[in-house]
């Protein structure tokens, strides 16, 4: 299979290549794509060197699959051009997520919606992915009525320059300010830009994308997203009201049986999920599972995942793998 990775030199792009290699994805020809200033440079994949090419060159080669991680504007401009030559695009930006004609996919939840006609497929926001992974089985069993979520998001969610800001500030070095304020020894209650309703774009992504993935516009959701001085891994405190009575034992059992979820929840031995343990892993970790005694049918969860892996690269590769398995991409289509 001929596979293009668009944004191959970025934070998510490098993880995409790593995940493709780890999962032994059937790449017969790799086409790494990056900005014009990177064209001609080389990257390594499976022990071989590959030259970075331009967007136009990649399209001329008509890849079967293009994994995009190059920002919304790039995707809006170029994803349709790849689709025109028959390439299936899986896009990691926010460009297509809420387009009513595009699927927004977390494979464990709604891959069944995919068809051979889907040429541009949206990868959800990293914070949304880890939350819906934990909530989807609860929604199926009990019905999710309302979600109150507060996030603790790492700087890699912003990109390489934000990570550099944190590392420079850690050693007292002057640096390019990606955030409006220092992130070292600080917490910034703003992820992305503010919208007219007083919420940030990130907060509204969690609202709108969750409803679309769970296929239920009736779920009431409110979100506060916060940037914290952590290198990698997002954490979320989630309060969820269900439609039926439950026991904590049943909730824990249900989550333990859910593929892609790992329950780490033993207060007696101080066991709970943390970003330091999630880094480099593909699972979504859930702990601090407890009843909210302030109102009926409500519980609290603490959800942690590596935002560059399941929150981005791994989910995209899982979508691609599902499509290969079901003969929706590549030569199998014939």
Architecture of domain 2-124+312-333: 3-Layer(aba) Sandwich (3.40)
- For 111-170, the pLDDT digits (tens) are 999 999 999 999 999 999 999 999 999 999 999 999 999 999 999 999 999 999 999 999
Active site residue 126: yes
In the prediction, which pLDDT does 331 show? 61
Interval 319-331 mean pLDDT: 92
Query: Can you count the helices (H) and strands (E) in the chain?
Result: 10, 14
Q: How far apart are the first and last CA of the chain?
A: 14
Q: Which of 126, 277, 326, 327 is catalytic?
A: 126
Q: How high is the mean pLDDT of the chain?
A: 96
Interval 5-30 mean pLDDT: 96
Interval 279-299 mean pLDDT: 98
CA pair distance 160, 178, nearest whole angstrom: 10
In the prediction, which pLDDT does 36 show? 87
Q: Which of 234, 277, 326, 327 is catalytic?
A: 234
Active site residue 191: no
CA pair distance 100, 122, nearest whole angstrom: 11
Start and end residues for every CATH 3.40.50.720 domain found in the chain: 2-124+312-333
CA pair distance 290, 302, nearest whole angstrom: 10
If one looks up domain 127-307 in CATH, what number appears? 3.30.360.10
333 has pLDDT over 50 = no
332 has pLDDT over 60 = no
Interval 4-31 mean pLDDT: 96
Q: Kindly indicate the confidence band of residue 334, based on its pLDDT and cuts at 50, 70 and 90.
A: very low
Asked if 292 and 285 touch (Cβ cutoff 8 Å), the reply is no
Asked if 311 and 327 touch (Cβ cutoff 8 Å), the reply is no
Interval 278-286 mean pLDDT: 97
39 has pLDDT over 90 = yes
Start and end residues for every CATH 3.30.360.10 domain found in the chain: 127-307
| Percentage of the chain exceeding pLDDT 70 | 99
């Amino acid at each position: 299979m001929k596979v293009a990775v668009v944004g191959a030199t970025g934070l998510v792009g490098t993880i995409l290549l790593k995940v493709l290699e780890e999962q032994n994805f059937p790449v017969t020809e790799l086409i790494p794509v990056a900005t014009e200033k990177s064209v001609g440079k080389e990257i390594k994949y499976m022990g071989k060197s590959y030259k970075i090419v331009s967007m136009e060159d990649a399209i001329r080669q008509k890849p079967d699959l293009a994994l995009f991680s190059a920002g919304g504007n790039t995707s809006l401009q170029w994803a349709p051009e790849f689709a025109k030559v028959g390439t299936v695009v899986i896009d990691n930006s926010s460009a297509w997520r809420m387009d009513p004609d595009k699927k927004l996919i977390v494979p464990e939840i709604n891959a069944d919606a995919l068809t051979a006609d889907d040429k541009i497929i949206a990868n959800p926001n990293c914070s949304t992915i880890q939350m819906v992974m934990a909530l989807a089985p609860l929604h199926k069993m009990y019905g999710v009525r309302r979600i109150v979520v507060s996030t603790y998001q790492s700087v890699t969610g912003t990109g390489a320059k934000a990570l550099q800001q944190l590392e420079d500030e850690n050693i007292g070095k002057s640096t390019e300010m990606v955030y409006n304020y220092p992130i070292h020894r600080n917490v910034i209650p703003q992820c992305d830009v503010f919208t007219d309703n007083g919420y940030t774009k990130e907060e509204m992504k969690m609202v709108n994308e969750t409803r679309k993935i769970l296929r239920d516009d009736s779920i009431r959701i409110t979100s506060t997203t916060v940037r914290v001085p952590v290198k990698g891994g997002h954490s979320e405190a989630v309060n969820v009201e269900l439609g039926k009575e439950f026991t904590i034992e049943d909730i824990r059992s249900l989550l333990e049986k859910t593929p892609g979820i790992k329950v780490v929840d033993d207060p007696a031995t101080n066991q709970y999920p943390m970003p330091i343990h999630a880094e480099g892993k593909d699972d979504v970790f859930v702990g601090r599972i407890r009843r909210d005694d302030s109102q009926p049918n409500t519980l609290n969860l603490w959800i942690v995942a590596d935002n560059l892996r399941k929150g981005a690269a791994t989910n995209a590769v899982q979508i691609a793998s599902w499509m290969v398995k079901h003969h929706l991409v590549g030569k199998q289509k014939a």
